Amino acid sequence: MSESIKSQEENIEDNIAQAPDQENESTTTTETVDVIKEVSSSDQQAEDKNHEIDIVAIVKKVIKDKWSLLVFFIIFAVLGVAVALMTPRTYSTDVVVAPELSSGSMPEGLSDIASMVGVDLNNGNKSSVDAIYPQIYPDVISSNDFIVQLFSIPVTTEGAKNSKTYFDHITKDAKMGFWDYPKTWMGNIVKKITGKKDTTNLADASTVIDPVHLNKVQSDIRDAIRSQVTCVVDKKTNVITITAKDFDRFVSAEVADTVQKRLRNYIIEYRTKKFKQDVAYAQSLVDTAEAKYVKTRNAYTAFAEANTDVTQESFVTKRDEMENNMQMRYTNYTQALQQLQVAQAKLREHTPVFTVIQEASVPFKPSGTPRSLIVLGYVLAGLFFDAIWVLLLKQKFMRLFRKKA
């Protein structure tokens, strides 16, 4: 018993003696790991520094080559000025119109949600749904029929005394951009080589117009107008913004005003066409009923005046029949008048009302990119290409030139 106790005491003493050694070993290991981490992090930082791009050194190297910088600056600055001067200025005119919403139509979001669950908020009343709603007004304006009708509208350029058609204005007064000159030159060269002549008559193009069969000139003018006249509809408020662009500021205002008026007339004509037909039909019924009533009344008056003193039963019976016939004709006439009034009331009810929020006005400042920004953009592009030349291409060209020499 005493021996076992002594052996346990010896084991405890040995463990106590080995504990400091283990602590020293763990401390040494931790310190070694920390040193390794510090060394690796310092190496990583040194490697990152080697990979960093010295912006200042690059700028100094580019500026050092003054002749190259000057050449690129002059070339691109002159090119920018030429492009800015050759780019025609365009003017933009906006017209803002708010259409009256149909009383029977439901809000778009609410009707969409209801249709998803199978509920028809219009209760099957298809007449309340307008086939031409504001969201498709841009399609109406860009359609062939609408644009072709703009060919013949009169426009007056700034400083001109006489007006001309919009078609003639685009074909004869249009200014080409610098990007159009190569295309025009190549077209003229091809015509001279092939001997082909342009047989399209501009006068015929402006007078004889078939929206389905347009010739080459008419098709080009249609595309030009389609790109210059645009319409944007705010989906939340249904407010319509019509924009007309032209290189003449007076023409841009005239075209914008004409487009909004013609769009308004187009929508009014579409929505009221059926009701106008109903009014015309009711008016024809009124005219017929009135003519029959007047004829019957005149006949009764003539018969009664001619037989004032006659008391025979046959004459009295005939007079009463004619009077009853006159009263029937009068009743028909009054009923036709009531139908006409109802038709006219429906026509007024379904005639849309457009509120012009912003009228067309002649712009004073051109739209598009200012010429100063065009020149600045070309100058920056020149500096960029100069940097590429100095940093990447110059040495390669010099080596290639030396080898050939």
Q: Per-residue confidence of the chain (405 residues) as pLDDT tens digits?
A: 445 544 555 554 554 445 445 444 444 455 544 544 554 555 555 455 544 556 777 777 777 777 888 888 888 888 888 887 777 788 999 999 998 765 444 444 444 444 444 444 444 444 444 557 788 889 999 999 999 999 989 998 888 888 899 998 888 877 655 555 555 556 556 656 665 555 444 444 445 677 777 888 888 889 989 999 999 998 888 899 999 999 889 999 999 999 999 999 999 898 888 999 999 999 999 999 999 999 999 988 887 777 776 667 777 788 888 889 989 999 999 999 999 999 999 999 888 888 889 998 988 888 777 778 888 888 888 888 888 887 777 777 777 777 765
From CA 90, how far away is CA 386, in angstroms rounded?
33
Query: pTM score > 0.85 for this model?
Result: no
pLDDT of residue 185: 56
Quickly count: other Cβ atoms within 10 Å of residue 244's Cβ: 25
pLDDT, position 337: 94
- Burial of residue 256 (CB within 10 Å: 0-12, 13-18, 19+) is buried
pLDDT at 252: 92
SS3 of the chain: CHHHHHHHHHHHHHHHHHHHHHHHHHHHHHHHHHHHHHHHHHHHHHHHHHHCCCHHHHHHHHHHCHHHHHHHHHHHHHHHHHHHHHCCCEEEEEEEEEECCCCCCCCHHHHHHHHHCCCCCCCCCHHHCCCCCHHHHHHHHCCHHHHHHCCCCEECCCCCCCCEEHHHHHHHHCCCCCCHHHHHHHHHHHHHHHCCCCCCCHHHHHHCCCCCCCCHHHHHHHHHHHHHEEEEECCCCCCEEEEEEECCHHHHHHHHHHHHHHHHHHHHHHHHHHHHHHHHHHHHHHHHHHHHHHHHHHHHHHHHHHCCCCCCHHHHHHHHHHHHHHHHHHHHHHHHHHHHHHHHHHHHHHCCCEEEEECCCCCCCCECCCHHHHHHHHHHHHHHHHHHHHHHHHHHHHHHHHHHC
C-alpha torsion angle, residues 355, 357, 360, 361 (rounded to 10): 150
User: What's residue 352's pLDDT?
Assistant: 85
Cβ-contact 115, 233 below 8 angstroms:
no
Per this entry, what is the length of the chain?
405
At residue 115, the pLDDT reads 47
Within a 10 A sphere around the Cβ of 153, how many other Cβ atoms? Answer: 16
Q: Can you give the pLDDT at residue 372?
A: 81
At 107 the pLDDT is 47
**Single-letter amino acid, residue 101:** L
Give the pLDDT score at 257: 93
Contact, 83 vs 351, CB < 8 A?
Answer: no
Whole-angstrom Cα distance, residue 141 to residue 133? 13
Residue pair 138/260 in contact by the 8 Å Cβ criterion: no
